[in-house]
Amino acid sequence: MDFKLEVAKKISSLADMETEKAMELMEIPPQPNMGDYAFPCFQLAKVMRKSPNMIAKDLAEKIERDDIVEKAEAAGGYLNFFINKTGFIKHTISQILDQGSKYGSSKEGEGKTVLVEFSSPNIAKPFHIGHLVNTITGNAIEKIFKHLGYNTIKLNHLGDYGTQFGKLISAYKRWGNDEIIEKDPINELLKIYVKFHEEAEKDPTLDDEARLYFKHLEDGESEAIALWQKFRELSLKEFKKLYVDFNIEFDSYTGESFYSDKMPEVVEILKDKKLLKESSGAQIVDLEQFNLPPCLILKSDGATIYATRDLAAAIYRKRTYDFYKSLYVVGNTQALHFKQFFSVLELAGFEWAKDCVHIGTSLVKFADRKLASRKGDVIYAKEVVDEAVEKTLEIINSKNPNLENKEEVAKKVGMGAIIYTFLKNNMGRDIVFSWEDMLTFEGESGPNVLYSYVRGKSILKKAGNISGNADFSYLKTEDEFNIVKQLGSFKETVEQAAERYEPFVITRYVTDLAKAYNKFYNSHPILSAEEEVKIARLALTKAVCNVLTTGLGLLGIQTPESM
């Protein structure tokens, strides 16, 4: 039973309005003492040609009291509903305890496949903080859609192709040392790659050599392929360490190289549709009708480019997965590229182009470049994780030195802090990175939410097995009702997060829920309350912990049992 829907039905039956329309219009009053739901009568005023005030008053008189609505009163042009608290509390908590981790899920996604492309690091390049933001965001998006019943597929579109691999092969053959590379593959490969660039400035024949090696790679020459595979595997092994830390498993690691033989078809399709045009020796698709700059398909030397690869990948994915939606979680800075590439798909007659969505993740900037990193001008993902876990361990040692599995807990909490920080605000803004913000564990922070959870868990543990059913009429305080109201809006919250492609909606939700529970926790005893009250409050606590776990889980944050 959905209380909001029931109220909407009542309005619908009394006023000349569809239930759905009433649902849309209904809001939550700014002050809790004004009611639980509010229906604005301003739109009705036009149709009924009466003042909103009058309409609200008329309706208020006609609304009958029952186990849904306790009372309805007119205020200004609003009709404010006070729902039957006991009924609502009982219904909500029972539902949560019944459904467990399924609470807030839905069937809207049944039978629909959603692809989520994210992370996509470049082979032999370090995984920096920008990749981390992207990885964390994509992971949350995927989990949110999965919770709504969609069949989700996680794609890691590795940057494993391109002329830079010719350079890397050349560099490796000159200066590569397997022993050092085995130890620290990515940094060492990066080092020789950088050295190659330096040397190539002095000696341009190196670039010719690199081009040759890339040609070998394209032609499938065995030595080049073997080296490329080696670089790829070593890098992937490193990346996977981080994915394991964050508990992320991809369904596919087919990167750019996978599509290298699928691009001629794209060019053929575009030719057939007469979309290709020559411009300064290159082949482009004109996008003037979309008010966009042209999309480059073939370079003037006839080679393909990233747009070509993305087109090939999109077509391949549609054939392979027949997706309902294909989400590209990629940095905001590439917005134009995606607009162009989606427009080309549309021009080529693929009606599913509208199902492709670019989710632009925030750009990470530094507040103070000097303090940006201990090592150089980029911050590595590993550096951030290590720092957060270490800081967490320090705090545990000072606040709860006898805790078991300190390391394990520190990892969960520290990484939770990072995820929380990155998914705290909407993606429209840049993230200004500062160690201070990242390692603040008070107020609106991941550890704070986890702390609320852990305290609840601790109470449940101490209570042991409770016999008998809870009588929710014992939950009489305002603080308790506020928690339940919060609990009841979880499903809407998940749906909104999916609709907006914004995980921060969930972050705010768990924060508010934790806040409501903390307030209650601080002023009402649970274990020492009278038996009936205690049982009811324990059920409430269990429901809160349940929803916190689920909500945090959607963000990719794991909950420790104690901290």
Partner RNA sequence: GCGCUUGUAGCUCAGUUGGAUAGAGCAACGGACUUCUAAUCCGUGUGCCGGGGGUUCGACUCCCUCCAGGCGCACCA
Chain positions 479 to 498 lying near RNA, rule: CB under 7 A, are 496
Q: For residue 433, what are the β-bridge partners?
A: 366
Number of residues that bind RNA (CB under 7 A): 94
> In this chain, which stretch among 100-108, 109-117, 167-175, 328-336 interacts with RNA, using CB under 7 A?
328-336
> In this chain, which stretch among 8-16, 84-92, 233-241, 329-337 interacts with RNA, using CB under 7 A?
329-337
CB-nearer residue toward RNA: 222 or 291: 291
Residue 526 engages RNA in binding (rule: CB under 7 A)? yes
Q: 72 to 131, contacts with RNA by CB under 7 A?
A: 75-78, 80, 122
Residue 363 engages RNA in binding (rule: CB under 7 A)? yes
Q: 252 to 281, contacts with RNA by CB under 7 A?
A: 256, 279-281
CB-nearer residue toward RNA: 110 or 336: 336
CA proximity to 140, closest of 453, 504, 469, 543: 504
- Please say whether the beta carbons of 449 and 419 come within 8 A: no
What is the C-alpha radius of gyration for the chain, rounded to an integer number of angstroms?
28
User: Smallest distance from the beta carbon of 391 to RNA, in angstroms?
Assistant: 9
Of 334, 348, 355, 466, the one binding RNA by CB under 7 A: 334
User: Smallest distance from the beta carbon of 115 to RNA, in angstroms?
Assistant: 18
Q: 9 to 28, contacts with RNA by CB under 7 A?
A: 24-25, 27-28
Residue 349 engages RNA in binding (rule: CB under 7 A)? no
DSSP letter string, 292-335: -PPEEEE-TTS-B-HHHHHHHHHHHHHHHH--SEEEEEEEGGGH
Residue 30 engages RNA in binding (rule: CB under 7 A)? yes
User: Smallest distance from the beta carbon of 313 to RNA, in angstroms?
Assistant: 11
Residue 40 engages RNA in binding (rule: CB under 7 A)? yes
Residue 425 engages RNA in binding (rule: CB under 7 A)? yes
Of 9, 262, 424, 491, the one binding RNA by CB under 7 A: 424
> In this chain, which stretch among 88-96, 257-265, 369-377, 457-465 interacts with RNA, using CB under 7 A?
457-465
DSSP letter string, 116-164: EE---PBTTS--BHHHHHHHHHHHHHHHHHHHTT-EEEEE---B--STH
Determine the Cα–Cα distance for residues 72 and 80; give it in Å rounded to an integer: 5
CA proximity to 367, closest of 305, 276, 436: 436
Determine the Cα–Cα distance for residues 381 and 365; give it in Å rounded to an integer: 14
Place of tokens 């849904």: 68
What is the token pair recorded at 273?
Answer: 């549709």
Residue 149 engages RNA in binding (rule: CB under 7 A)? no
Q: What share of the chain is helix, strand, coil (3-state, %, to 5)?
A: 60, 10, 30
Which DSSP symbol is given to 503?
T
Of 134, 448, 558, 559, the one binding RNA by CB under 7 A: 448
- Please say whether the beta carbons of 169 and 224 come within 8 A: yes
Residue 428 engages RNA in binding (rule: CB under 7 A)? yes
- Please say whether the beta carbons of 13 and 6 come within 8 A: no
Q: 499 to 518, contacts with RNA by CB under 7 A?
A: 504, 508, 515, 518
Catalytic residue numbers read 125, 128, 131
Of 337, 378, 471, 477, the one binding RNA by CB under 7 A: 337
CB-nearer residue toward RNA: 102 or 399: 399
Q: 196 to 235, contacts with RNA by CB under 7 A?
A: none
For residue 245, give the H/E element and its range: helix 222-245
CB-nearer residue toward RNA: 28 or 348: 28
- How far apart, in Å, are the Cα atoms of 121 and each of 128, 131, 298, 315? 9, 7, 24, 22
> In this chain, which stretch among 8-16, 198-206, 292-300, 543-551 interacts with RNA, using CB under 7 A?
292-300
CB-nearer residue toward RNA: 220 or 428: 428
Across 128-142, b (16+ Cβ under 10 Å) vs e yields bbbbbbbbbbbbbbb
User: Smallest distance from the beta carbon of 175 to RNA, in angstroms?
Assistant: 22
Residue 57 engages RNA in binding (rule: CB under 7 A)? no
Which DSSP symbol is given to 528?
T
Across 504-543, b (16+ Cβ under 10 Å) vs e yields bbbbbbbbbbbbbbbebbeeeebeeeeeebbbbbbbbbbb
Residue 563 engages RNA in binding (rule: CB under 7 A)? yes
Of 13, 426, 469, 473, the one binding RNA by CB under 7 A: 426
CB-nearer residue toward RNA: 222 or 528: 528
